[in-house]
Amino acid sequence: MTSTTWQVLETGPLVTVQDRGRIGLAHLGVPRAGALDGPAAALANRLVGNGPDAAVLEVLLGGLAVRAGGGCWVAVTGAPAPVSVDGSARALSRAEWLPAGGVLRVGAPAAGLRSYVAVAGGFAVEPVLGSRATDTLAWVGPPRVEPGVELPVGEPTGELRPLDTPPSPPPGALRVVPGPRDDWFTGDALDELCRTTWTVGADSDRIGLRLEGVGLRRARDGELASEGMVLGAVQVPPSGRPVVLLADHPPTGGYPVVGVVDEADLWRCAQVRPGEEVRFTALPRPPAPGAATG
């Protein structure tokens, strides 16, 4: 099988190319980017025999239609969207054959937000700073995928896995460890964060999950000097309403961080819709480096 291209016929609200992101460049001011639902993207790649670094398409709320220049194996995972090839229904989370000239469609999911499309060989767009991920904060990396675009497909190299089992999901609440700035809030801010039921705001995006509810109360006025931010940090702006920083978050920020979401739970932030509820549950603070653990 030779490499080929896909012609993009239709897109929904947002389609981007993503891989595992630009890890280790935050000190240069470069956001990480990468697939928001990492387990779903990894599953799609495994199904079609790709390695973990292969690029996939991240599709927000469906609406994608593409035509294959050559026959290829594909897989769609993540939010449970209807999938079809030339009008015939195909399965989610399973390797499916897309013939040369065939049209793959990914419709609007009944739940969740983001679906992932993998092709055997991965999408061979030009890497930027070592990654094919699109960062929507500074638009580093490939441009957003629009109708009329042609996407190059790489050579398949791995063994097809027509079936695979997604990992078991973690608990329903977002597990969070205490952050470094709880002294900026009155009382036990992490406990208050976990007692409150938050609603996902309509302005949530790949940069942050913005939550609405009775805000956390500040014990100090003013703002911090900008400091480094990590993936999953729960920042609290003056409104008191938390923001969970996601893959396209800026490398620095000046709002205090009350906690950090466990990495294994971040995929939930990729799939929760505006208006849906989110809860947190506290994990113990990890020991300081070099501290005795008994």
Ranges of CATH 2.40.100.10 domains, the chain:
174-282
Which residue bears the tokens 């300081």? 288
CA distances from 171 to 79, 115, 167, 176, 264 (A): 18, 21, 12, 12, 10
* Distant-in-sequence, close-in-space partners of 111: CB < 8 Å, separation ≥ 6: 79, 80, 271, 273
174-282: which CATH topology? Answer: Cyclophilin (2.40.100)
Give the chain's mean pLDDT: 91
Q: What is the pTM of this model?
A: 0.92
Compute the average pLDDT of residues 83-102: 96
Q: Using the predicted structure, report yes or no on whether residue 294 has a pLDDT greater than 60.
A: no
Which of 30-39, 132-141, 166-175, 192-201 shows the lowest per-residue confidence on average (mean pLDDT)?
166-175
Span 26-62, pLDDT tens digits: 877 788 999 999 999 999 999 999 999 999 999 999 9
Q: Is 157 or 101 the better-scoring residue by pLDDT?
A: 101
Tokens for 287?
A: 């020991």
**pLDDT at residue 159, as a whole number:** 87
By residue count, the chain amounts to 294
